[in-house]
């Protein structure tokens, strides 16, 4: 039986020698997953805001008679996306609306997607922009 020297409890035994290592081994993976989730959620929220802005800008360009694809591409700046601008201003009537739907493929960068059930593949972020046609 070992007794701690200089301890306030002279009869105390040293039984918790590896307790800190065990606690760290249990807490560090959970803490890392929380950090990874925060990083990917922040990136996904930023991507959703950007896709919404791209759809709105594409609808605005389409309502003015310009190309929605070029404006969406300028706002997104890259990545994999599709633009549906089939509901445009064909009659140029102020009662018509220009509608642009943008679908963006978001890719996770941390392993949290494997635990969330996404199997590491991309997920689609969708946004719709609607603007009245300018006659």
Task: Dump pLDDT digits (tens) for 38-83.
Answer: 999 999 999 999 999 999 999 999 888 888 889 999 999 888 888 8
Domain ranges of the chain: 19-132
* Alpha-carbon span 103 to 48, nearest angstrom: 10
Nearest to residue 67, comparing CAs of 93, 85, 53, 81? Answer: 85
Angle between helical axes of 19-63 and 68-76 (0-180°, round to 10): 150
Q: What is the model's pTM?
A: 0.76
Evaluate whether 100 touches 83 at the Cβ level (below 8 Å): yes
Nearest to residue 99, comparing CAs of 67, 130, 56? 130
> How sure is the predictor about 125, in pLDDT bands with cuts at 50, 70 and 90?
very high
Please determine, for residue 84, whether its predicted confidence score (pLDDT) is greater than 80. yes
Among the listed residues 21, 23, 24, 4, the one whose alpha carbon sits nearest the alpha carbon of residue 13: 4
At 83 the pLDDT is 87
Q: What phi and psi, each to the nearest 5 degrees, are found at residue 133?
A: -70, 140
Whether 9 shows a pLDDT value over 80: the answer reads: no
CA-to-CA dists, residue 116 to 36, 56, 123, 133, angstroms:
12, 30, 12, 42
């Amino acid at each position: 039986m070992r007794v701690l020297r200089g301890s306030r409890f002279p009869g105390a035994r040293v039984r918790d020698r590896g307790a800190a290592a065990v606690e760290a081994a249990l807490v560090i993976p959970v803490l890392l997953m929380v950090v990874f989730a925060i990083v990917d959620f922040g990136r996904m929220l930023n991507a959703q805001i950007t896709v919404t802005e791209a759809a709105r800008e594409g609808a605005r360009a389409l309502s003015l008679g310009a190309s929605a694809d070029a404006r969406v591409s300028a706002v997104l700046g890259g990545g994999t996306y599709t633009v549906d601008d089939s509901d445009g201003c064909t009659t140029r009537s102020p009662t018509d609306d220009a509608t642009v739907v943008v679908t963006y493929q978001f890719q996770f960068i941390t392993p949290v997607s494997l635990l969330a059930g996404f199997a590491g593949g991309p997920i689609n972020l969708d946004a719709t922009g609607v603007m009245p046609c300018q006659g």
